[in-house]
Amino acid sequence: MINEEFNDSIKYINKFINYEPDIGLILGSGLGVMAEDIKNSIIVEYEKIPHFPVSGVEGHAGRLIFGELDGKNVVAMQGRSHYYEGYSMQELVYPVRIMKLLGISKLLITNAAGGINHSFKAGQFMIISDHINLMGENPLRGDNIVELGPRFPDMTEAYNKKLIAIAEKAALQEGIKCNKGVYAALSGPSYETPAEIRFLERIGADTVGMSTVPEVIVARHMGVEVLGISCITNLAAGILSKPLNHEEVIKISKKVKPQFKRLIHGILKLL
């Protein structure tokens, strides 16, 4: 049976909207600017939605925005919560559950990530082809809600191949440099050590971050098609000699704002 908490959240949100969104967007650190382009927008603050997690991290506004983007009905998460903030896995993926129950069939997830692949440069983008979960936890641990998905969901194609092809085509049309590779997720909040980065490189990771993977697992559990895009905001520890800081992440995210918007618009137009 669907959890009463889900029903509370849906009931509150439905006070503001009268349609089902087709596409969900999760806008990561410094990437919430995409929400500016949503037409006929309806804004619902996270803190007012029953049971909804609220992020306190800089660069995460903390609100759901409903409206139209490139002819599609969308719901955008302008900011997300993180495992390192103290939330349980089940709490931090709660918004994805809600977006699916509201009607989405596709989810576009963005994040800020550290580049491990030596051919990557800060300010570039990477389409996620696969991920490695090193967070030490899985959001599906515990009782399974059979109405939402199977006990043992398949993750062979966590990131939808058709959506990846669309993203590659959009990047080409827009003239935007877009890499493709594997995203590794760690719990954070500390950045990785150079030794950890060498380990991640050896096991096949191209970028590293502190989000995305839990949301993807839950989205796939519920049958939602996923596209993931990382904004490479810095090169990981040990690849460059300078120390890492969150201010640099926000700075690079703001710098690539025009390209990021063009890429997302290009993808949505092709859907």
Q: What is the mean pLDDT of residues 124-136?
A: 97
Mean pLDDT value of segment 30-46: 88
What are the tokens at 100? 């699916």
Nearest 5°: the CA angle 158, 159, 163 is 150
Dihedral through CA 125, CA 104, CA 82, CA 267, nearest 10?
A: 10
Using one digit for the tens of pLDDT, what is the confidence trace for 155-202?
Answer: 999 999 999 999 999 999 999 999 999 999 999 999 999 999 999 999
* CATH code for the part of the protein at 4-270: 3.40.50.1580
Q: Which residues contact 29 (CB under 8 A, 6 or more apart)?
A: 57, 58, 59, 60, 111, 112, 233, 246, 249, 250, 253
State the virtual CA torsion across 117, 58, 130, 193 in degrees, nearest 10: 40
What pLDDT score was predicted for residue 244? 65
263 contacts: CB under 8 Å, gap ≥ 6: 125, 167, 170, 171, 174, 176, 178, 229
Q: What is the mean pLDDT of the chain?
A: 91
Task: Respond yes or no on whether the N-terminal peptide bond of residue 189 is cis (omega within 30° of 0).
Answer: yes
59 pLDDT more than 60: no
Note the pLDDT of residue 79.
84
Average pLDDT score over residue span 18-46? 89
Average pLDDT estimate for 48-57 = 83
227 forms beta bridges with 108
Q: Which residues does the annotation mark as catalytic? A: 29, 60, 82, 84-85, 112, 210-211, 234, 246
Would you say how long the chain is, in residues?
271
Instruction: Convert 174-193 into a string of H (helix), E (strand) and C (coil).
Output: HCCCEEEEEEEECCCCCCCC
Residue 65 near residue 76 (C-beta atoms within 8 A): yes
| Alpha helices per DSSP H over the chain | 4-13, 89-92, 94-102, 161-174, 194-202, 213-221, 246-255, 257-270
Vertex 52, ends 265 and 142: CA angle to 5°?
A: 105
Q: For residue 97, is pLDDT > 70?
A: yes
Which tens digit of pLDDT belongs to each residue from 241-266?
Answer: 666 666 777 777 778 888 999 999 99
Contact, 190 vs 224, CB < 8 A?
Answer: no
Banded pLDDT at 117 (limits 50, 70, 90): very high
Domain ranges of the chain: 4-270
Residues 6 or more apart whose CB falls under 8 angstroms from that of 172 comprise: none
Residue 120, pLDDT above cutoff 70: yes
